[in-house]
Amino acid sequence: MQETKQATTLNRSLGFWSALSLVVGTVIGSGIFFKQSAVLDSAGSPSAALLAWLLGGLITLTAGLTIAEVGAQMPHTGGLYVYMEQIYGKLWGFLSGWMQIAVYGPAIIASIGAYLGILLVGFFNLHTSWQAPLSIGVIVLIGILNMFENRWGAAFQIATTLGKLLPIAAIIIFGLFYGNQNALGQSLHTITQSTGSFGVAVLATLFAYDGWILVANLGGEIKNPQKLLPQAIILGISMVLIAYTLVSYGILHFVPAATIHKLGQQTTLYFAQAAFGTIGGRLLNIGIIISMVGCLNGKIMTFPRIVYAMADQNQLPFAKQLSYLHQKSHEPIVATIAILVYASIMILFFNPDRLSDLCIFTVYCFYVATFIGVFILRKRQPATARPFSTPGFPVTPLVAILGALFVIISEIGSDLSGVLISLVIVAVGFPIYYWKRQQNQNA
């Protein structure tokens, strides 16, 4: 696949640590700090909650092992968009990219930015009128950083990833060594299955693990992507799996399960204050802010690459402008600006959380299609050398497919109206695709 039609090309300068920090940094946002009670309530017991975190991570790991095989064969800018196009054709590639840039990507950036604005207002004791300006200000500043050479955004990603691992390490160490609760054997009378089920708990963890695939959007900028991309995806997911499970165990070892049930989203803050005093709560908030800033940086660094890749194939309106790369920084600055403007509008006028939720169904539909693509590629090109082969084939991709189908079925059962709206959003892409194809044929 041709990476660009211009003399200026993307810099293939990102190494292993940059790729690894993007996987870890785009997954770990605020979920691990705020979902402890929700997963526990749905699972029904501490042991079941820990199993949910572990199972969600293992399902995600099978997905990563599966995508690693596909990504190693298609080390191009665009990630999922490229995989779908190469396996199923230009239409399905376009629709997977359209869904991500029309709503999903900007809405995720907007929702993280909006919540970060709430945290900043609370941290600095500002009036709530500052929430939107702070939210937009943060994403604009991060966007500007990512208009310089990609090594700057990558360096910032590494720094924030290291920063977010500090509070996680503190929770794990303190919980394991200073807790006196029986994390696996507590008797719970206040927590019942009425708030959910084990499946709902696993679903919540799968959403907390999501985001790892975005590093594939930078396939055209990673050095030796056939080798480094699979390594970063697999090691990154494994690190997050271990961190999430140990954080959950540490909290359950320190805080009684019934207390977690009562505290809800305040559980981790309570843990920090109990463990480290009043200053602990402030330090934890700083850690969460750093975590969310790093997560935002990963999203802002990766989503414009989908816009660029699609525009470079002349599949979008204003393709010439959106595929522009700055001659010095080699960055898709117009595509980045477009995503930032779109996300800012969502912050001001919409509920970005709801908008991003609407696309979960379709994202996982494309996940399933890509997982199935491993079987298609092996049958289509049996003699082609694979830089990376999914271990445990065919069981590993089958588990990934079943995990994604579980999310899809759960979404249909819990949010049918949202599923229908997401399908309408995808359907809007059909006339745009055929309009641009007709334009290209007449050119």
The pLDDT value recorded for residue 340 is 96
User: Which of 2, 31, 25 is closest to 300 using CA atoms?
Assistant: 25
Domain boundaries, the chain: 16-442
Q: Is residue 181 scored above 90 in pLDDT?
A: no
User: Which of 344, 312, 340, 368 is closest to 135 using CA atoms?
Assistant: 344
Q: What is the mean pLDDT of the chain?
A: 88
Q: Is residue 183 scored above 80 in pLDDT?
A: no
Q: Model confidence over 105-131: pLDDT tens digits?
A: 999 999 999 988 988 988 888 998 999
Q: Is residue 6 scored above 70 in pLDDT?
A: no
Q: What is the pTM of this model?
A: 0.89
Of 163-172, 210-219, 258-267, 342-351, the least confident: 258-267
CA 196 to chain centre: 24
Q: Model confidence over 206-244: pLDDT tens digits?
A: 888 988 998 988 888 888 889 999 999 999 999 999 999
Q: What is the DSSP string of 232-281?
A: HHHHHHHHHHHHHHHHHHHHHHHS-HHHHHHHGGGHHHHHHHHHH-HHHH
Structurally, what CATH architecture does the domain formed by 16-442 represent?
Answer: Up-down Bundle (1.20)
The pLDDT value recorded for residue 194 is 45
The pLDDT value recorded for residue 287 is 86
Q: How far apart are CA 361 and CA 350, in angstroms?
A: 20
Mean pLDDT of 127-139: 94
The pLDDT value recorded for residue 187 is 52
The pLDDT value recorded for residue 3 is 44
Residue-wise over 199-234: b if at least 16 C-beta within 10 A, else e? Answer: ebbbbbbbebbbbbbbbbbbbbbbeebbebbbbbbb
The larger pLDDT score, comparing residue 4 to residue 245, is at: 245
The pLDDT value recorded for residue 186 is 61
Q: Is residue 43 scored above 50 in pLDDT?
A: yes
Mean pLDDT of 194-212: 82
Q: How far apart are CA 70 and CA 84, in angstroms?
A: 10
User: Which of 130, 165, 146, 73 is closest to 303 using CA atoms?
Assistant: 146
User: Which of 228, 432, 232, 221 is closest to 332 using CA atoms?
Assistant: 221
Q: Model confidence over 21-42: pLDDT tens digits?
A: 999 999 988 778 878 888 888 8
The pLDDT value recorded for residue 193 is 45
Instruction: Supply the DSSP symbol for 102.
Output: I
Most confident of 188-192, 351-355, 436-440: 436-440
Q: How far apart are CA 290 and CA 428, in angstroms?
A: 37
Residue in the block written with tokens 């049958």 = 379
Q: In the structure encoding, which two tokens stand for residue 414, read together?
A: 């819990």
pLDDT band of 185, cuts 50, 70, 90: low
Q: Model confidence over 426-438: pLDDT tens digits?
A: 999 999 999 999 9
